[in-house]
Amino acid sequence: MLYKIVLHTHSVLRWLVLFGGLGAVALALKGWLGGGEWGKKNRALHGMFIGSMHLQVVLGLILYSGLSPLMGTIFGDFGGAMKVASLRFWAVEHITMMVLAAVVAHAAHVLSKKAEEDAVKFKRAAIGFGLALFMVIGAIPWPFREAVGRSLFPGG
């Protein structure tokens, strides 16, 4: 039961991460290229993106640490699992890319906050959040991905 709740929440939360990331990147690009002023909207959207990324990583780590039955299978024979592309995706690729994406997004957030000029804030946010979002999109088990694909919505 707990497994299904955490997996469902993790699956639904991806949309907040994706749309928050798209919004954060778009707003940062608009400010960077259009010479905008850094304000509350930027801080709020960036905070939402970072917060949802962190929550997503925590839920993923809970699943990875053994709540997911798939991880029990993988950890039962880790060497053998590395020889199977779909198991390797879950054991190494997905978690590595998502944790790195969260680190990149967090670093971009911190670096943009520390910049004194608005143009630099926007540039750092646009590049860092864009890179993090690219990593997230690449590591999601989209339905069209052979062997690892999952439905767009839980229960679908």
Please answer whether residues 34 and 26 qualify as being in contact, where contact means their C-beta atoms are separated by less than 8 angstroms. Answer: no
DSSP 65: I
pLDDT digits (tens, 9 = 90+) for 42-89: 999 999 999 999 999 999 999 999 899 999 999 999 999 999 999 999
Query: 125, 129, 103: which is closest to 115 by C-alpha?
Result: 125
How confident is the model at residue 51, as a pLDDT? 96
Looking at residue 96, its amino acid is T
Round the CA-based radius of gyration of the chain to a whole number and report it.
Answer: 17
Is residue 156 scored above 70 in pLDDT? no
pLDDT digits (tens, 9 = 90+) for 86-139: 999 999 999 999 999 999 999 999 999 999 999 999 999 999 999 999 999 999
Token representation of residue 131: 């890179």
How confident is the model at residue 149, as a pLDDT? 85
Q: Cα separation of 2 and 85, whole Å?
A: 27
Q: What's the whole-model pTM score?
A: 0.91
Is residue 40 scored above 70 in pLDDT? yes
How confident is the model at residue 155, as a pLDDT? 66
User: Which residues have CB under 8 Å from 126's CB, separation 6+?
Assistant: 25, 28, 29, 31, 32
From first CA to last CA, the distance across the chain in angstroms is 18
Please answer whether residues 63 and 150 qualify as being in contact, where contact means their C-beta atoms are separated by less than 8 angstroms. Answer: no
Q: Residue 39: what are its φ and ψ, rounded to 5°?
A: -150, -165
Q: How far is CA 131 from the centre of its chain?
A: 11
